[in-house]
Amino acid sequence: METCAHKSRLLDRESLLAFTIYFGLSLFFFGRGLIGHFGDRYIGVGPDPSAHLYFLAWWPYAVRHRLNPFITRYVWFPSGVNLTHSTSIVLPALLFAPLTLLFGPTPAYTLIMLLSPAFSALAAFILYKRISSCSLPAFTGGFIYGFSPFELGHMLGQPSLVASWFAPLIVYFASRRLDGGISSKTLFWILTLLLIGQAGFSLETLATTTLIGGLALIVWSAFADVHLRYKILTLLYPLAGAYAVMVAVFSPYFYYFFHGPQLSLPSQLAAYLSVDPLNFLIPTETNELGFFLRNWLAPHANLYEATAHVGLPAILIVAMTVWRQWRSPVVRLCAWILAITAVLAIGPFLEVSRRLIVPAPELLLFLWAPFFKNAMPCRFTEFIFFCR
């Protein structure tokens, strides 16, 4: 890889080399135990992998047999289940339908899980290389994002959440539009495809991406000059059009989501799935170091959701970078988003090792705001690693 050289193309030899390395690492980290057993073993623990195996098989089955794919009575008969309230991964289920029909859902699930960290890292690499014009730092940033604690935690069985490549690509193409590299019409079509893709993997991630993206635009506009603020405002037209098309495409899905049989969620969901501030410093057992430090977070740490580990060295590096380069618009924007997402991830109560409970500043937000009442605060940690 070249050390520093400006590249404007989406894919080039460096990007292909980066993806090859990322995918090799994914195979080494997650797939080495599957060699020779791609049909009878899968990645993950607990109930979530089997649920997603069902979803991968359900959508092709429902389409072939002309069944309502949004409601199934093959589970919890006779009342059935509204699958739009689950992470039913409709898009990958349809894209991988030929593989599922030929070999079953297990190989399709395994391929999705192995490709997702590599694609997420590649998308971040492409964005970071455009921002920094340096390949080696961009490669490191891509690795940090694609193999972050957020990814590691959800590699235990949640393919809907490890598909984290949509947000970096949205930012990449938006920056291309700001620089005049692509037209507003081109941005509209690209954003439409990316939003449809994100909705097809996870409506929850689409919602959190929309929230954080909206906050980023507001923050950036607040300290931008008049010329840049005008450019940012021009992004709203293709963005609004792309959202409108995405909603139209997914209108049957949204209909059953809002008007179908409703799922009753626990009232304290946000409090239970919040980030313990100690997790910013101490990893869980998805990290080798966490095996030796697990008594600090156990037994309350949820391996799926305790994904906030940044580490003291990285926190100090980020703090030093912000201090020294505060005048950079990109650094200021990332610093604000880091702070906002960290606060949101803590949730309605500040709980340290589940012993100290103090209402957090955003308590009323999680208790009363329509979007936040059923939110899982720990899922905001994805954007911590995006901005880091």
- State residue 346's pLDDT score: 85
Q: Spell out the residues 6+ positions from residue 152 whose beta carbon is closer than 8 angstroms to its own.
A: 286, 287, 307
- State residue 278's pLDDT score: 83
Backbone angles phi, psi at 357, to 5 degrees: -120, 115
Q: How many CB atoms lie within 10 A of CB 238?
A: 23
Euclidean distance between the first and final Cα of the chain, in Å? 22
- In the three-class reduction of DSSP (H, G, I as helix; E, B as strand; rest coil), residue 278 is classed as helix
Q: Are 296 and 282 in contact (CB under 8 A)?
A: yes
- State residue 36's pLDDT score: 82
- State residue 247's pLDDT score: 96
- State residue 298's pLDDT score: 45
pTM of the model: 0.90
- State residue 37's pLDDT score: 84
- State residue 95's pLDDT score: 95
pLDDT in tens, 202-223: 998 999 999 999 999 999 888 8
Within the chain, which residues score under 50 in pLDDT? 298-299
